[in-house]
């Protein structure tokens, strides 16, 4: 969920003559006046137009992946509520627990992360809240005393699992586009007015531990 840049450093063994040559080149470069250092040229008008089109395409793709992810998450919440409806019909299950889970499930959308303000903590907070609901829901489903009499319980539980997995896949899709957009912002923000000042996007994927 955090944006990290990792650099791979490769060490090579140099001969003594190679090292001497490298140090001479470095000394020559450092002896030049700062006035001789050339700035990276700005993009031409034609290049700026092409970059602007690429920027729009990346944003459109980002919006589309986000919309699909939200739709699958909404479906997961919907099927969770439908499953709670069905569990209410099963005798012997804790009715107060079902009511508590229904209330917690109804609060999820209000707690969900938003694309423009998403940070690691907001993602973790939402995931913990939803995992708490799903964990207790799984325990209730396992207590169904007569799966043959209430087959819809198992089918709805499967739908919840399917959409839970889909959300994870959608997050990967979103991160793939977001990484491309972050690279674009790093490389071309000064050449595309619409990208100027645009912050780097947070990701769902955690960087590997050092």
pLDDT, residue 39, reads: 59
| pLDDT reading at 207 higher than 80 | no
Residue among 33, 61, 13 nearest 177 (CA): 61
Write down the mean pLDDT value for the chain. 83
Rg (the chain; Cα; Å): 27
Query: What number is the average pLDDT over the span 175-183?
Result: 96
Work out the pLDDT band at 17, boundaries 50, 70, 90. very low
| pLDDT reading at 7 higher than 50 | no
Work out the pLDDT band at 5, boundaries 50, 70, 90. very low
Cβ(195)–Cβ(189) under 8 Å?
Answer: yes
> Per residue in 112-134, pLDDT tens?
999 888 998 999 999 999 999 99
pLDDT, residue 16, reads: 34
pLDDT, residue 14, reads: 34
User: What's the distance, CA 70 to chain centroid?
Assistant: 12
- Residue 69, both tokens: 């992810």
Work out the pLDDT band at 10, boundaries 50, 70, 90. very low
b (16+ CB within 10 A) / e for 155-190: ebbebbeebbebbeebbebbbebbeebbebbeebbe
Query: What number is the average pLDDT over the span 145-168?
Result: 95
Share of the chain above pLDDT 90, in %: 66
What does the alpha-carbon distance between residue 76 and residue 82 come to, in Å, rounded to a whole number?
A: 10
Compute the residue count for the chain. 210
> Per residue in 83-116, pLDDT tens?
999 999 999 999 999 999 999 999 999 999 998 8
Three-state DSSP class for residue 1: coil
Among the ranges given (50-54, 88-92, 205-209), the one the predictor scored with the smallest mean pLDDT: 205-209
| pLDDT reading at 208 higher than 80 | no
């Amino acid at each position: 969920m955090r944006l990290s840049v990792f650099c791979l450093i490769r060490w090579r063994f140099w001969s003594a003559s190679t090292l001497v040559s490298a140090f001479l080149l470095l000394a020559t470069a450092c002896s030049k006046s700062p006035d001789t250092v050339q700035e990276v040229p700005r993009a031409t008008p034609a290049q700026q137009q092409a970059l602007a089109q690429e920027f729009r395409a990346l944003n459109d793709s980002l919006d589309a992946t986000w919309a699909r992810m939200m739709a699958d998450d909404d479906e997961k919440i919907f099927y969770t509520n439908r499953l709670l409806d069905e569990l209410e019909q099963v005798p012997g299950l804790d009715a107060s627990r079902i009511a508590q889970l229904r209330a917690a499930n109804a609060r999820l959308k209000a707690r969900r992360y938003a694309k423009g303000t998403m940070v690691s903590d907001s993602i973790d907070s939402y995931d913990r809240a939803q995992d708490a609901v799903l964990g207790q829901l799984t325990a209730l489903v396992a207590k169904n005393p007569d799966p043959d009499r209430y087959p819809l319980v198992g089918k709805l539980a499967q739908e919840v699992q399917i959409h839970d997995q889909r959300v994870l896949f959608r997050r990967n899709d979103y991160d793939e586009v977001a990484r491309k957009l972050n690279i674009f912002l790093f490389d071309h923000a000064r050449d595309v007015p619409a990208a100027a000042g645009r912050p780097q996007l947070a990701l769902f994927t955690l960087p590997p531990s050092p």
